Chains A and B, each alone.
Chain A
Amino acid sequence: MSVELITVLMLTSLILVIMMGFPIGFSLAGVATVFGLIFVGPHIASTFMLRMHVTLSNYTLIAIPLFVFMGIVIEKSGLAGRLYDAIYVLTGRLKGGLAIATVLTCAIFAAATGVVGATVVTMGIISMPAMMKYRYDKPMASGAVCAGGALGILIPPSILILVYAPVANVSVGALLIGAFVPGMILALLYVLYIGIRCFINPEMGPSAADGGVHYTFWQKSRMFCVSVLPVLTLILAVLGTIFFGLAAPTEAAAIGAFAAVLLALGYRKLTAAMLMEAAIRTARTSAMVYLVVIGASFFTSVFVRLGCGRVIESSIMGLPFGPWGVLIVMWLIIILMGCFLDWIGIIMIVVPLFTPVAVKLGFDPVWFSLMNIIVLQTSFLTPPFALTIFYLKGIAPPEVTLADIYKGVVPYLLLMLAALLLFSLFPDILLFMPRAAGLI
């Protein structure tokens, strides 16, 4: 059987099994085993065992349970509500101020938790009723929550980056540091978009603070110091230790987890029951991520051993579009897969195939990884399989329809494309931070 045929068979059977609903990790491992046993031989099982030990002893991946734990503890410390209150006291008088506060809170909260689902659910519960009360435009309001939540996989520390870096063979520190700037730029674009639209058409987002209580400057400062400052310090301390090379990302994650417990203690939300639940949820979420990583390592080992990697590489390189055309095709594939697959599945399937091609075409691997991560955000926003939309529909006030949310995410998707264009024209925007830190 020719290598080309094996490549096609292996990929189609994988996609088929995954689409039929079998867990992605087991699908990857199972398809790898079938093809490995047939085309390599029974000793493939020893290769798998070694792969498993390599994954389980990978120092960088150990940051996953630590960041997951940090996120759960912060989520349970009731931080989101405090953040939102503090920020909207500052922005509430602006037209569209509640939606702007939503995006900013999402950005901070998403950074601290690193998980999209938790951000969308928490922020939806907190901000949607307030925005509906002031008769905000429903699509714009719901789009702000979804797009703000999707920032969670981009703005570091993020679980996605920890999974992505070893797969692409890129420094995890460089990605964590590098993702900070594009995350901020996207959040800024969302804020500007809301501000401008509401300035032109105040009906969409009337200013809200007039009806409420008036706060003095000192009260505002105090709210800012109690709510926003500690968590910002926490995030910047984690990133700062990596940036200045004081500690490995794994150690920084442990310190972040430790500090999150102190934060919860400060907010008087620390209980034994909460810690117990955080521990078991951390173990389960991490086991889920690790299973996919282990299954993908089996799949890649068979795929590369049989020469399928080269088949993919030469067929992508053979596309008659030039380097940028090839990149655009790759991103279109990621966006398309995002309509059906979860981010972790997309990373495990396409990143090992695409990265060597992009490097051969002369693109910087760190830049390419960051661009992919930005593109991966769309997987949360593009129907039919759009997690944020389902989460938001689940908790939004009943007058917000699914159509409102679908309509609402479109402008934010366009803003992501605008940002991608910007980073393509000026790649240094993505690269100057990792360079300054000496990580690339």
Chain B
Amino acid sequence: MAVINKIIRVIDWINEKISKAVSFLVFALILTLTYEVVARYFFGSPTQWSLNLTYFICSFFLILTMGYTWQLGEHVGVDLISSKLPRRVGALLNAVFILGLFFLTWTNIGRVMYNDMLRSWALQERSTIGAMPPVYPYKTWIFVGVVLLLLQGVSQLLKEIQVVLGRDRQS
């Protein structure tokens, strides 16, 4: 059991630290867009890179925060029925959904993204809009975000299994 607790703690720690580190990019997002408006009206020179930069910044902190948000139970759901079920039954249902739905979805997407990322690096692919910057870094961090989400899925699954077995800390 100690090993499993250790795995959960390490995954949760990684996602927490990464999310807290990247969330500061919100300020970069605000400043980029504010600068864009100021540049357009006061310097008369709209920027070419703003369009790409905004979604690069935004996607970066969003995708890397997905797992941490799950860890805190903040992905919105309906607990009307599940909160009335016995704890272990609810945990069993969640474990089944994580295995059957979550992993099925995100391992498939992760696999396709991995291949697409390698292709993008090989081609030195560039964006087709705005200042046409390279998009392979963007594809890389989106892939990393999906991997972190999958890792959080492992942690969530282990937590639910511990509840099912009656071995979680609360019981």
Bitwise, A283-295 to B at CB < 8 A (1) or not (0) is 1111110111000
Main secondary structure of the interface of B (DSSP, over half): helix
Q: Which of A28-82 contact B (CB under 8 A)?
A: 29-34, 37, 42, 44-46, 48-49, 52-53, 56-59, 62, 65-66, 69
Tell me whether B78 and A18 are in contact (CB under 8 A).
yes
Tell me whether B79 and A283 are in contact (CB under 8 A).
no
Interface size on A, residues (CB 8 A): 66
Q: Which residue of A lies closest to B38 (CB)?
A: A255
- Contact A69-B30, Cβ < 8 Å, known A22-B101, A251-B37, A287-B69: yes
C-alpha spacing A59/B54, complex, angstroms:
8
Residues of chain A within 8 A of B22, CB atoms compared: 283
Residues of chain A within 8 A of B136, CB atoms compared: none
Q: Which residue of B lies closest to A290 (CB)?
A: B62
Tell me whether B27 and A284 are in contact (CB under 8 A).
no
Q: Which residue of B lies closest to A57 (CB)?
A: B55
Tell me whether B37 and A254 are in contact (CB under 8 A).
yes
C-alpha spacing A57/B90, complex, angstroms:
36
Tell me whether B75 and A291 are in contact (CB under 8 A).
yes
Residues of chain A within 8 A of B79, CB atoms compared: 21
Tell me whether B101 and A56 are in contact (CB under 8 A).
no
Tell me whether B112 and A46 are in contact (CB under 8 A).
yes
Tell me whether A288 and B112 are in contact (CB under 8 A).
no
Q: Which of B13-62 contact A (CB under 8 A)?
A: 19-20, 22-24, 26-27, 29-34, 36-37, 41, 51, 54-55, 58-59, 61-62
Q: Which residue of B lies closest to A47 (CB)?
A: B112
Which listed residue, B36, B41, B62, touches A65 by the CB 8 Å rule? B62
Residues of chain A within 8 A of B90, CB atoms compared: 21
B116 to chain A, nearest CB (A): 6
Q: Which of A233-292 contact B (CB under 8 A)?
A: 246-247, 250-251, 253-255, 257-258, 275-276, 278-280, 282-288, 290-292
Which listed residue, A34, A52, A285, touches B109 by the CB 8 Å rule? A52
A26 within 8 A of B: yes
Residues of chain A within 8 A of B32, CB atoms compared: 254
Tell me whether A279 and B62 are in contact (CB under 8 A).
no
B113 within 8 A of A: yes
Residues of chain A within 8 A of B54, CB atoms compared: 59, 62, 250
C-alpha spacing A44/B104, complex, angstroms:
12
Which listed residue, A21, A45, A48, touches B77 by the CB 8 Å rule? A21
Which listed residue, B27, B69, B81, B111, touches A279 by the CB 8 Å rule? B27
C-alpha spacing A305/B79, complex, angstroms:
31
Tell me whether A30 and B69 are in contact (CB under 8 A).
no
A71 to chain B, nearest CB (A): 13
Q: Which residue of A lies closest to B97 (CB)?
A: A22
C-alpha spacing A287/B116, complex, angstroms:
23
Q: Which residue of B lies closest to A278 (CB)?
A: B26
- Contact A45-B109, Cβ < 8 Å, known A19-B80, A30-B97, A283-B19: yes
Tell me whether A31 and B101 are in contact (CB under 8 A).
yes
- Contact A279-B26, Cβ < 8 Å, known A21-B94, A284-B69: yes
C-alpha spacing A353/B138, complex, angstroms:
33
C-alpha spacing A250/B50, complex, angstroms:
12
Tell me whether A258 and B34 are in contact (CB under 8 A).
yes
Q: List 11 A-B contacts (CB under 8 A).
A: A20-B93, A21-B82, A21-B83, A22-B77, A34-B104, A52-B109, A56-B62, A65-B62, A250-B54, A251-B33, A254-B32
Residues of chain B at the chain A interface (Cβ within 8 Å): 19-20, 22-24, 26-27, 29-34, 36-37, 41, 51, 54-55, 58-59, 61-63, 65-66, 68-70, 72, 74-83, 90, 93-94, 97, 100-102, 104-106, 108-109, 111-113, 116, 142
Residues of chain A at the chain B interface (Cβ within 8 Å): 17-27, 29-34, 37, 42, 44-46, 48-49, 52-53, 56-59, 62, 65-66, 69, 246-247, 250-251, 253-255, 257-258, 275-276, 278-280, 282-288, 290-292, 298, 340-342, 344-345, 384-385
- The 3 closest A-B CB pairs, nearest first, are A30-B101, A21-B82, A254-B33
